[in-house]
Amino acid sequence: MERPPVTLRNFEESDLDDFMEWATDEEVYRFSMRGTFKSREEAEMYIKNEGMGHPWLKAICVEGRAVGAINLRRGLADSSCRAEIGYGLARRWWGKGIATEAVKLCVSRAFGDMPDLERIEGLVEPENVASQRVLEKAGFVKEGLLCKYFAFKEKTRDFYSYCFLSEHLPQRV
């Protein structure tokens, strides 16, 4: 059976129940710098204050329902030529190609909407093999290992650096 198409859209208040499925799941947030949401109220405030107003925080949707989130954080000043991608998906949707499709959509849309953007990068812990596969299948190139790069969750961590350059986008005819 063929999987329904993946779409990206702005968050809506009505996404709260779907959002709670992954936002409270420790396994989904295992490699995230942000911890899980501890209450419905916290999640609701996040959707209202950040999800609905942020131009590059999008709901990953299957058949119109939010099954995950994807975001870009654009660099500032001299770093404005690049952005960092992040994403998360409800566990029941893992292994179905949804994250890869969402990353491809985000990359295509970002380079189209921001013509001065030249690079999108993803930072992935070595233990997060699934996320490495997502980026590789979406066309990202592994650049190398950044040793002791971030300290969070009471530990200094290594990260693989992945990038997708604007010149690698397929040419539109």
- 62 within a domain of the structure (yes/no): yes
Q: What's the structural domain count of the chain?
A: 1
Give the tens place of pLDDT for each residue, 91-139.
999 999 999 999 999 999 999 888 899 999 999 999 999 999 999 999 9
Report yes or no on whether pTM surpasses 0.75: yes
- 112 within a domain of the structure (yes/no): yes
Its domain, for residue 22, covers 6-168
- 173 within a domain of the structure (yes/no): no
DSSP the chain: -PPPPEEEE---GGGHHHHHHHHT-TTTTTT-SSPPP-SHHHHHHHIIIIITT-TTEEEEEETTEEEEEEEEEE--GGGTTEEEEEEEE-GGGTTSSHHHHHHHHHHHHHHHH-TT--EEEEEE-TT-HHHHHHHHHTT-EEEEEEEEEEEETTEEEEEEEEEEEGGGSPPP-
Taking residues 62-66, report their average pLDDT. 94
Kindly tell me if the per-residue pLDDT of 173 is higher than 70.
no
User: Which CATH number goes with the domain that contains 156?
Assistant: 3.40.630.30
Taking residues 42-55, report their average pLDDT. 87
- 1 within a domain of the structure (yes/no): no
Report which of residues 26 and 173 the model is more confident about: 26
- 45 within a domain of the structure (yes/no): yes
Taking residues 57-78, report their average pLDDT. 94
Lowest mean pLDDT segment, chosen from 31-35, 112-116, 148-152: 31-35
What pLDDT is stored for residue 89 in this prediction? 95
- 162 within a domain of the structure (yes/no): yes
- 160 within a domain of the structure (yes/no): yes
Lowest mean pLDDT segment, chosen from 49-53, 107-111, 131-135, 140-144: 49-53
Rounded mean pLDDT of the chain?
91
